[in-house]
Each structure stands twice: as structure tokens, then as C-alpha cells.
Amino acid sequence: MLKLKDVHTYYGNIHALKGIDLEVTEGEVISLIGANGAGKSTTLMTTCGIVPAKRGSIVFKGQDITHMPADNIVKLGICQVPEGRRIFPYLTVDENLDMGAFLRNDKDKIKEDFEYVYSLFPILADRKNQAGGTLSGGEQQMLAISRALMSRPKVLLLDEPSLGLAPIIVKQIFTIIKKINEEQKTTIFIVEQNANLALKAADRGYVMENGVITMTDTGKNLLSNEDIKKAYLGM
Ligand code: ATP
């Protein structure tokens, strides 16, 4: 469904991605793990056109999107939930969700999707008229995921969904991510420093170091790999 081939990305003369090969199959949950600065976020941002690839190719459902503007990539169905959430702080929960449906005009389906995301996160329904910026960190993450769902993505890219959240909230969010994958058949690509949770949720995982992919396997096999245990799982 989504294929990155020999992707190189630079920030000025910093060579952040040094030839990434990565594949996401329809319906899968994929996790990309790695230390700080490995290039995980850059991989996501290059995929959705925010940071341009200098070399290599990115193909989505047979279409080359390597140099496509980010808004066109969203229209094709690739939607990112950025690190740090970035919801609209002065808009209410309802209005934030409306912004997620910005490119759509199928009113009835939008209404259904409001009901769906509120059923996933009932706390957001209780807060629907509250300004986004006044929500807790966990609620903001829920809102960011919900807002992305309102665009009916085919692939949901999640950048560090656990960042700065209490373990119990993180667990809840990962349970919902799996549920979205199962119920909506949404393909999910997660970038995470919390390797344990990310690999548990994943069908397959990729490990990244210094701008290159160093290992790939099923989530289950990576979790029991001795090198991964030592380097990323603190065991
Ligand atoms: P983290 O888990 O800390 O978010 P990461 O694996 O997502 O790290 P990236 O944020 O992709 O890593 O960063 C990869 C490399 O690119 C790092 O060396 C980083 O310093 C550099 N980098 C990232 N963004 C920029 C930028 N806007 N300008 C210059 N260098 C950048």
C-alpha cells in the first residue's frame, strides 16, 4: 500500500534519512522504533510531504507521491497525527473535529463519524464545547487522533502518541488505536520511543538508528529479540 524506497532526506547539510526502505501493507499496524534523533519523525514527515525527500521514492497505492504537496497527500488518504498533538487550542472539541472533516462534504457521514469518535472517546463528548487548549494532555492526544479520523484516512501516521502521558492513558490510547485498526480497517503506522507498547500493538516493526533501518520483523519476534530487549526494552 505504501512503499518507501531508498529515501534520503536532509535538513540543510544534516543527512537525516540515509536510504530508508520500508513497506506498509493494507490493514497492518506498523511500528517504527528507535532512539532520540534516529530519524523516526523525519520518516513520517517525509512520507506525508512536510519535509521533502531528496532522493528515492515514495509510492502510495501505485501512485508516486514523492514530490506531491502535503495537502494533496492528505486528500489521497494519508493523515498524520503530529508529535505534540497540535490541536487548535482556541477552538472547541467539536470545532477541532469539524476542521478534521474540512475536505469532506458528505454531511451525513460526517455526522456518523462524530458519533463514532465520541463513542471511542466518551470523555471528548463530555468536553465537546470546551476549548482544545484547556484539555489534559491525554484528552488532547485523543482529540488529535479523533480529528485525524474525521478525514477518513486510509493510513493513519501517529508520531509518538505516548509522549508525555501517564502510563494508564497511554495504555488506553493504544487499545483504541488497535480498535480503530480492527473496526475501520485503517492502516496504522506508529513512530514511538515506547518500544514495548509500540511492538506489542504492531503486526510488524522496523528499528531505526542514525537515519537507517537496522532491523525489521514481526512485532512479536522483535519483542523477544535479545538485542532489542537490551537496547530498547531495558531488559
Ligand atoms: P525523537 O524521538 O527525539 O523525536 P526522531 O527519531 O524522531 O527523534 P528526528 O526528529 O527525525 O528523530 O531527527 C532526525 C535527525 O534530524 C536528528 O539529528 C535531528 O537533530 C535532525 N533534525 C530534525 N528536525 C530538524 C530540523 N528542523 N532542522 C535540522 N535538523 C533537524
Whether the CB of 13 sits within 6 Å of ligand 1: no
Name the residue at shortest CA distance from atom 18 of ligand 1.
37
- pLDDT for position 104: 82
For the cut 90, the answer to whether the pLDDT of residue 32 exceeds it is yes
C-alpha to C-alpha distance for 152 and 109, rounded to whole angstroms: 10
How far away, in angstroms, is 210 Cα from ligand 1 center?
10
pLDDT at position 105: 84
48: Cα separation from own chain's centroid: 10
Q: How far is the CA of 193 from the centre of ligand 1 (A)?
A: 13
Q: Looking at the CA of residue 42, tell me the nearest atom of ligand 1.
A: 11
| Residue 32 in contact with ligand 1 by CB distance below 6 A | no
CB of 11 sitting under 6 A from ligand 1: yes
Task: Report the pLDDT value the prediction gives residue 111, as an integer from 0 to 100.
Answer: 92
pLDDT digit string (tens) for 34-49?
988 999 999 999 999 9
Fold of domain 26-48+79-232: Rossmann fold (3.40.50)
pLDDT above 90 covers a percentage of the chain that reads 82
- Express each pLDDT in 117-134 by its tens digit: 999 999 999 999 999 999
User: Who contacts 33 (Cβ-Cβ below 8 Å, separation ≥6)?
Assistant: 40, 191, 192, 193, 195, 198, 199, 205, 206, 207, 208, 222, 232
Residue 12 alpha carbon, nearest atom of ligand 1: 29
DSSP H stretches of helix in the chain? 40-47, 70-76, 93-100, 107-120, 122-126, 137-149, 167-184, 195-201, 219-223, 226-232
Task: Check residue 107 and give its pLDDT.
Answer: 86
Dump pLDDT digits (tens) for 43-101: 999 999 999 999 999 999 999 999 999 989 998 999 999 877 788 999 999 999 999 99
207 lines ligand 1 (CB under 6 A): no
Residues across the chain: 235
Q: How far is the CA of 17 from the centre of ligand 1 (A)?
A: 10
List, in order, residues 6 or more apart from 101 with CB less than 8 Å away. 110, 113, 150, 151
Element containing residue 8 per DSSP (H, E): strand 2-11
Residue ID of nearest Cα to ligand 1 atom 29: 11
Q: How far is the CA of 83 from the centre of ligand 1 (A)?
A: 12
196 CB under 6 A from ligand 1?
no
| CB 18 within 8 Å of CB 211 | yes
Q: Residues 195-217: pLDDT tens digits?
A: 999 999 999 999 999 999 999 99
pLDDT at position 86, please?
82
What average pLDDT score do residues 154-183 get? 92
Residue 232 pLDDT grade (very low, low, confident, very high; cuts 50, 70, 90): confident
pLDDT number for residue 22: 96
CA pair distance 139, 134, nearest whole angstrom = 9
Is the predicted pLDDT of residue 28 greater than 80, yes or no? Answer: yes
CA 183 – CA 69 distance, rounded (Å): 30
Average confidence score pLDDT of the chain: 93
Give the count of beta carbons closer than 10 Å to the beta carbon of residue 47.
26
With a pLDDT cut of 70, the percent of the chain lying above it is: 100
pLDDT (average), residues 148-170: 92
Nearest-atom number in ligand 1 for the CA of 14 is 30
